[in-house]
Structure 1
Amino acid sequence: MNLTDRQRKFVFAGLVVVLAVVGVYLTVAAPEDDPGDEGANTPPAVTAGPTGPASPPPGIAGSVSPGDFDVYRLLPFSQQEFATAADLAQRFTAAYGTYRFDEDPQVYTGRLSGMVTEALLDELRRGAGSPGMLDERRRQQAVAEGSATLDRVRDIEDNSIIFLVTGKQQVTKEGKKAQESRQYAVTVARDGGSLRVYAFEPADAGQAGDTG
């Protein structure tokens, strides 16, 4: 079929209109969420850190017998965790009380670093590097060998245990030997996947327990 110039112009204009309408329809009708991009703009889920025992204590449903009563079934710490925490509190207290006047403070705090949280380690570093204390120890040529005894449990929370520990020292100052001792409250808490000393202070100062 032969079209005049006028007719060809009308046909071309019509095609342009049809294509424009189709483009608008496809834009409006397109799905808002492309299954192929699902989750692309979704922020990752935040996983909270542990604030208590990995699983609740199993509890006791039957009658309680003094002969086979298992107290750990009622506590947020297993027997192994409890023993690990007690050992940590004792070792830390002994290490805290062991020092030499000619020892670099970084060496001293290095012995404690694997046993305490980062926040407590920062506090211990500031104390160990105190110029006044260092000068006094050097003047007296002070040397102390620490040991510790576990006295009792002060408190148990979902995420921490406070032990009362007596720190003992064999101290030599200006050539004279003496024995010194002081009781401390040592809080051992879950720190990620391990146990760490979370807080440490004289027992008579009082101490908050749970860290979760």
Structure 2
Amino acid sequence: MNLDDRQRKIVFAGLVAALAAVGVYLTVAAPERATGGPDDAPTAAATAPAGPASPPPGIRTAVNPEDFDVYRLLPFSRAEFATAAEVAQRFVAAYATYRYDEEPRKYDERLAPLTTEQLRGELARAHASAGLVAKRRADRTVATGTASLDRVRDIGDNSIIFLVTGTQAVTAGGKETSENKQWAVTVVRDGGSLRVYAFEPADAGQAGDTG
């Protein structure tokens, strides 16, 4: 098609206007896509996990014995494991510690942060038994407990059983005695904390996971 000068000028002007419009559209639309488009990669804050992975993340690569993280295969993180061990050890020591001249509620207060509500209630009732209180006062009993972590007996999805040896030194009726006893102590997740759910002599055995 042959165009005269006037027609060519009109077509050229139209092309310039069209290209300008496209440029304006791209300039305005690009920021909108950069900040609000559905294909955008999520930010680190949006994808950061709220807590330890559960179930554990597992190991897909070849295992390196020199750099093996066993906690990636366990339902408890390293920090949770350490906290559970501390709770088990402190509990056994606190359980064996009391004295004749303190109110039973003091014993309950020491155990409160270490035990589930149910276990705490059972221990508090036993410790406050009228007969035991009277005997401790008559004998002027003072008992001091310490504890040694021995090993892990079992690990469940929501529990860890530790074997803990408790040593109780007792002064009563003018005599001093000492006794060692190994306990199986079950620590569970209880709300946002780790607490002792149950314990018994280690040679009696103990069911582990509470679900």
Give your verdict on TM over 0.5.
yes
CA–CA distance in 1 between the matches of 2:175 and 2:80?
41
Aligned twin of 1:122: 121
Q: In the alignment, is residue 192 of structure 1 matched against residue 191 of structure 2?
A: yes
Secondary structure at the counterpart of residue 85 of structure 2: helix
- Flag structure 1 segments of 5+ consecutive residues without an equivalent: 1-52
Shift of 1:135: 2.2
Q: In the alignment, is residue 84 of structure 1 matched against residue 104 of structure 2?
A: no
1:121-172 per-position Cα deviation (integer Å, ceiling 9, x unaligned): 1101111112222222222211011110000101000000000101111211
Q: In the alignment, is residue 204 of structure 1 matched against residue 203 of structure 2?
A: yes
1:53-81 per-position Cα deviation (integer Å, ceiling 9, x unaligned): 75211111122222111111110000000
Query: Which amino acid in structure 2 is aligned with residue 129 of structure 1?
Result: A
Query: Which amino acid in structure 2 is aligned with residue 82 of structure 1?
Result: F
Q: In the alignment, is residue 155 of structure 1 matched against residue 172 of structure 2?
A: no
Q: In the alignment, is residue 93 of structure 1 matched against residue 92 of structure 2?
A: yes
Shift of 1:103: 1.5
Aligned twin of 1:105: 104
CA–CA distance in 2 between the matches of 1:127 and 1:203?
21
Aligned twin of 2:58: 59
Aligned twin of 1:145: 144
Fraction of identical pairs, as percent: 68
CA–CA distance in 2 between the matches of 1:122 and 1:204?
25
Aligned twin of 1:168: 167
Deviates more, 1:159-168 or 1:131-140: 131-140
Query: Which amino acid in structure 1 is aligned with residue 122 of structure 2?
Result: E
CA–CA distance in 1 between the matches of 2:86 and 2:192?
17
1:66-110 per-position Cα deviation (integer Å, ceiling 9, x unaligned): 211111111000000000000010011111111001221111111
CA–CA distance in 2 between the matches of 1:203 and 1:148?
14
CA–CA distance in 2 between the matches of 1:119 and 1:174?
33
Q: TM-score, normalised by structure 2?
A: 0.73
Secondary structure at the counterpart of residue 90 of structure 1: helix
Q: How many equivalent pairs are there?
A: 160
Q: Flag as ranges the 4+ runs of structure 1 deviating above 6 A.
A: none
CA–CA distance in 1 between the matches of 2:79 and 2:146?
23
The RMSD of aligned alpha carbons is: 1.3
CA–CA distance in 2 between the matches of 1:137 and 1:181?
20
CA–CA distance in 2 between the matches of 1:104 and 1:205?
32
Aligned twin of 1:178: 177
Secondary structure at the counterpart of residue 203 of structure 2: helix
Shift of 1:196: 0.9
Q: TM-score, normalised by structure 1?
A: 0.72
Secondary structure at the counterpart of residue 79 of structure 2: helix
Query: Which amino acid in structure 2 is aligned with residue 70 of structure 1?
Result: D
| Aligned CA distance change for structure 1 residues 54 and 67 (closer, same or farther; 3 Å) | closer
Secondary structure at the counterpart of residue 137 of structure 1: helix
